[in-house]
Structure 1
Amino acid sequence: MALLAQSAGVTLVTLMTTDAWNRTREGVTSLWRRTQPDRAESVAAELAATREDALAAGEDGDQETLAELHAEWQGRLRRLLAARPGVAAELRGLLEELDPDRTTRPAVTQHASASGRARVYQAGRDQYNAQP
């Protein structure tokens, strides 16, 4: 469930900044309306606020804010899945509907070890390291 929440959080925030925004908002809001109807309106408002933040972060190249937004939605989705484990199949279906290319992307697996004063930097996508 944690991996699904992690993947879904990244996918949803990414889709919020694309032409798929309306479908993403409706799909996620509908999911909450069916599973936790008392939270559906607040989730819709959180989606809109996240979209504004994601658009601004994308324009500014602010990867830290985008990572925080991914983590926020990962947490929300993880809590939803913990409360309603049966929703996992529905969430997978929603993600496939919203982002059909998602299933064709290769999985990224990384392993690293460092010793002594060595540092390891890994990223599944873009990585920006500021030099001190």
Structure 2
Amino acid sequence: MNKAFQISILALSTLLTAPATAAEIDGKNITEAAGADNALAAEFQRIMKPITPDAPWVESFGVTTTPEIEAVGGKVYDVYRGCKPNDCPTEVYVLLYDRENNKFVSGAFIRSQFKDLTLTESAITWLGDTNTVRAGAIGKHLY
């Protein structure tokens, strides 16, 4: 078996056997989860601090979805996603939450411009410790 295949099998088995988090069991999006967990709320504020001066809506989380699970480099993360209220396509964030360490480790904030329904420009601000492996995992959740 080649090494890439073995790593893929390991990542898949990790994903399939990962225990559900409280947020997933309860179906809590980041707004609800942070409302029930002050440490999670503080972590969100910490990682989003570079964004809030230009996008103050992130302080109240925006329009959010329930977390998804993502296996990245053999580790399992909760993926939280939110967007600008009443204008979701123009500003979006995606964050990876390490539940073992209770920390948002990586994320991205993307600001996009459209002409009619055509995407014409996007700018990404990477947050936390976003290496290329994590960036790839985050990228598939940005749009």
Same fold (TM over 0.5): no
Normalised by the size of structure 2, how large is the TM-score? 0.27
Normalised by the size of structure 1, how large is the TM-score? 0.28
**Which structure exhibits the higher relative contact order, with contacts defined as CA atoms closer than 8 Å and separated by 6 or more residues?**
1
Higher helix share: 1
